[in-house]
Chain A
Amino acid sequence: MQFGVFSVGDVTPDPTTGREPTEAERIQAMLTVARKAEEVGLDVFATGEHHNPPFVPSSPTTLLGYLAGQTDRLLLSTATTLITTNDPVKIAEDYAMLQHLAGGRVDLMLGRGNTGPVYPWFGQDIRDGIALAVSNYALLRRLWREENVDWEGRFRTPLQAFTSTPRPLDGVPPFVWHASIRSPEIAEQAAYYGDGFFHNNIFWPSEHVRRMVDLYRRRFEHYGHGPADHAIVGLGGQVFIRTNSQDAIREFRPYFDNAPVYGHGPSLEEYMAETPLTVGSPQQVIDRTLGLRDVVGDYQRQLFLVDHAGLPLKTVLEQLDILGEQVVPVLRTEFAALRPAGVPEEPPTHGSLVADAAAELAAEAVR
């Protein structure tokens, strides 16, 4: 099972001091968090993509390309890449390039973004959100898999015998996750292609999470990609950890109460009861994360949100230390012990996809 962190890249003032980091500081902090994730033994760093303040990561492959040179083992991913408003031709090119730079340590998560106004900024219409995700991804897949692509669709100018360069590393496109919080159509899309499904459950009650993932698993099997429990599932989570849970609550509460995403609504305790947000001791985070397995079954990737709500970098790095030392090693052991034989331990990686492609080629040669 893969564990990692995902970052929204928000510039949020620290509510306890009023200090707001500069964009420059925030960008450097994201890089520091990613390097630290590798240092403490996590597997994945994923960046958001946003095109408006107060967010800094508008150019994910620039950020991840730099990180590719700064890390050795860390898998670089996105949360999410806007399949709706980016030209699929540019996504095909950018992420193939990143694959080469990172030696295959790349996958990406496609989503529709968290803000409506982004559509017109890139010449699109939010009412076409689902259709854009479906159409653009259909083209993206072909660009990575076919050398000469003829294409005609509703949303971009036609292509004739177009070759996207560079070609994917070793001829194998990066693994793709489809992420959706609310739309069954996106779970259906992930299932149709046999791709991964990431449910960013951090703001939602478990009952809803269960229904989304159930739908994906059921349809994955329906489309012939294997049994439902072999489908590739990723989940989010947000944690704040201290040795004593009372200390964690006391320290995190002002950040919760003022956070742009959930502040000024329910109390921290109410929010923890309804969503996977866990503020407490390492053991509480372990128990809660293992509990997600009861909601969605055995899953392959767990991403934690830790650098948000204006938390200072020093605190975030302490959180990563605790995750790496006291939480994730236990979770690896426990999840492995619970996982039935045959259920994929990890999402497909570049190495496994290259091996699959070679095996398929060999099987074809025999036929």
Chain B
Amino acid sequence: MTTRKIAVIAAGVSTPSSTRMLADRLAAAVGEALRSAGVPAQVEIIELREHARALADAIVTGFPTGELRDAIRTVTAADAVVAVTPVFAASYSGLFKTFVDVLEPDALAGKPVLLAATAGTARHSLVIEHAMRPLFSYLRALTVPTGVFAAPEDWAGGDAAPLSTRIDRAARELADLMTSRAPAPVADPFDDPTPFENLLADS
């Protein structure tokens, strides 16, 4: 069976960051959910902090370079994406959005995506719903119903709905979505251009 590729985007900026901790747990849970369904999985984690300067350059020049280009390729070629951001000023971080900004417009179209966020207070609990999900809807990604939000009390444990339960549920939803569909082929306008007769007809 074809190995399914999962790209995990982690936008945390400190080391270690709770965002990266959540990303690691989600990555492990998704890999486990796929393997238990008999599907080999390969997970790659992209730490956006490592690409911070290259992202600023790409915004200015219009093209990504070096390792950032590889990271963009990894996301574009993945069968699914796990996107994890810290909450800065009541929304996804600027670094997270900058990475989304440099993706090609159709890079996530039709791709299963699991959304997750960390914050310093539970008052940001709905950030996935009011900030992240609209962004990924715009990109025509297929977001799974369970978003995983982690506040300080979640890491402390003892909550009525423990973090691990939500992680496992979201991972299962992503794995189900991935296994229910063939890997989406990425259309390439350079390999397969619109024939000129069609362009003429549309003009």
Contacts and interface: CB of A to CB of B under 8 A. Distances in A.
B61 A203 contact: yes
Contacts of A187: 193
Contact of A274 (B60, B63, B196): B63
B87 to A, nearest CB: 28
A138 B200 contact: yes
Interface in B162-203: 189-190, 193-196, 199-200, 202-203
Interface string B39-82: 00000000000000000110111110100000000000000000
Interface residues of A, number: 32
Looking at chain A's contact residues, is the secondary structure mostly helix, strand, loop, or mixed?
helix
A205 B59 CA distance: 15
Contact of B61 (A132, A135, A212, A266): A266
Interface in A241-264: 262, 264
Contacts of B56: 265
Interface of B: 56-57, 59-63, 65, 189-190, 193-196, 199-200, 202-203
Given A154-B203, A266-B57, A189 B196 contact: yes
Interface of A: 130-132, 134-135, 138, 153-154, 184-185, 187-189, 191-192, 203-205, 208, 211-212, 214-215, 219, 223, 262, 264-266, 270-271, 274
A67 B173 CA distance: 68
Contacts of A215: 190, 193
A184 B193 contact: yes
A262 B190 contact: no
Given A211-B190, A212-B190, A265-B56, A134 B61 contact: no
B143 to A, nearest CB: 27
B190 A188 contact: no
A130 B193 CA distance: 14
Contact of A214 (B59, B65, B190): B190
16 contacts: A130-B199, A130-B203, A134-B199, A134-B203, A185-B193, A185-B199, A188-B194, A188-B196, A188-B199, A203-B61, A203-B63, A205-B63, A215-B193, A265-B56, A270-B57, A274-B65
A130 B56 CA distance: 29
Most chain A C-beta atoms within 10 Å of own C-beta, residue among B59, B199, B200 = B199
A184 B60 contact: no
Given A188-B194, A204-B63, A265-B60, 6 more contacts: A185-B199, A188-B193, A203-B61, A203-B62, A212-B190, A265-B61
Contacts of A208: 63
A264 B193 contact: no
Contacts of A184: 189-190, 193-194
Contacts of B194: 184-185, 188
B203 A135 contact: yes
